[in-house]
Amino acid sequence: MLRKRSSVIVCSAFLFITWNAILIFVLWGRPPSEQEAGGGRGNIAKDMIRMISAFETELEAQRKILLQIKSHRSLWSQQNDGGLNGQSEAEDPSQAVIPVLVIACNRVTVKRCLDKLIEYRPSAELFPIVVSQDCGHTDTANVISSYGDQVTHIKQPDLSDISVRPDHKKFQGYYKISRHYRWALNQIFHSFSYSSVIIVEDDLEVAPDFFEYFRALYPVLKSDPTLWCVSAWNDNGREGYVDPGKASVLYRTDFFPGLGWMLLKDLWDELEPKWPASFWDDWMRQPDQRKDRSCIRPEISRTLTFGRRGVSLGQFYDKYLRFIRLNSEYVPFTKLDLSYLEQTKYNDMFEKEVYGAPLVRAEELTGGKLTGPGPFRVQYSSPDSFKTLARNLGVMDDLKSGVPRAGYRGVVSFLSRGKRIFIAPPVGWTKYDPSWS
């Protein structure tokens, strides 16, 4: 049904262009009137030049219309037909159109990101790629344009500097990024009228099952009000800290990971009116935005960052990010039972696993003195004790509004010396303390 309706739309547009062309040629070729003849051949030549110019302008305008129709025909077909194959999105979420928004600026290496997205994309119609470019960088724009109709290239129109207080001048880049995100997401949800989006930045490479991962978790996100995003990223996903035999295992996390993540239009409608002027990702991690909601993250990341240079000046990159393990095993997530991620089921399982693990001292872990397969638990009771444990065990030690990276209910899970380790608060944990930062 989709292909048939798409063909009708495209053919109609082609006929419209052809009709305009024929009309112009007919007018161009008609005999001149006596008044026109009296005006001399010079006037006729000028009229012909104007006619040719108008013809070229009209053809270019119609060409752009045709490209837009072709780019968005799948969305229109769903709106008019109630979804692919006559089914609504609610009836068949596997056929929902989920665009990928690539946030770009001045990196020509966006090619690496786009090449992998296009290589692994199972369907151009179900996963249209929209590249939103800020900065006005010509070489980057040329790279994006080279992909033709494989992507839709939009450009953030406001390239001006943003007025900031004097001590924030060095953070101008963060202000521009936040402005760009707001504009780009408004384009996705309001101009293109999509109902969900996967956001990827121009310095991310995706895994072979990137699309399968998000396709499977789309209905989970839609149906569970205790979730507000799905992320492809594990902050502690370095080699040696993840279990390569658990590529299919997913977790709930209270920490907003970003770096390849999916959200729904309903969430954007909630966030957009209060969207911050800068530091949007840390703003997302504040209690007023998170509202006790969680994200889904994988054991092994489905994205890898290769952008050492950026507004953050390589913060964390050399120590952590460049060692993140990118999944290489294709996991058929859409065929798996993911019901264990439902909050009540997950919490019951989680509490038993974490607090059923024997409590040990960090020195026993780092000294290799533990016997048995694990898991094991080490305990913290203050921000300082958490940071000390995290540093000693090699995981990220920062807290945002009291939440540790990749943490859930205060617990950070990772692999150390081949054993599952939980850095956990005492039994009876109830809530985060935002002053722990």
Which residues carry out catalysis?
281
Number of Cβ within 10 Å of residue 50's Cβ equals 10
Write down the residue that tokens 């607090």 correspond to: 355
Tell me, what DSSP letter sits at residue 188? I
Distance (Å, rounded) from C-alpha 262 to C-alpha 40? 66
Pairing of strands 294-298, 196-201: unpaired
317-to-110, 215, 231 alpha-carbon distances in Å = 18, 29, 19
Distance (Å, rounded) from C-alpha 397 to C-alpha 394? 8
**What are φ and ψ of residue 4, in 5° steps?**
-65, -50
Residue by residue, DSSP assigns 3-15 as HHHHHHHHHHHHH
Distance (Å, rounded) from C-alpha 270 to C-alpha 261? 17
Report CA 128 to chain centroid distance, whole Å: 12
Is the distance from CB of 221 to CB of 227 less than 8 angstroms?
yes
Order of all β-strands in the sheet with 227-231: 152-155, 129-133, 100-104, 196-201, 261-264, 227-231, 294-298, 250-253
Query: Which residue, among 26, 142, 30, 125, has the nearest Cα to 83 in the 3D structure?
Result: 125
Task: Provide the token pair at 352.
Answer: 């038993």
Task: Provide the token pair at 132.
Answer: 């939103």
Collapsing DSSP to helix, strand or coil, 287 comes out as helix
Pairing of strands 419-424, 412-416: antiparallel
285-to-41, 266, 297, 410 alpha-carbon distances in Å = 73, 18, 15, 14
7-to-1, 59, 63, 90, 123 alpha-carbon distances in Å = 10, 20, 16, 25, 17
Distance (Å, rounded) from C-alpha 202 to C-alpha 42? 55
Distance (Å, rounded) from C-alpha 371 to C-alpha 350? 23
333-to-94, 250, 307, 329 alpha-carbon distances in Å = 12, 10, 28, 12
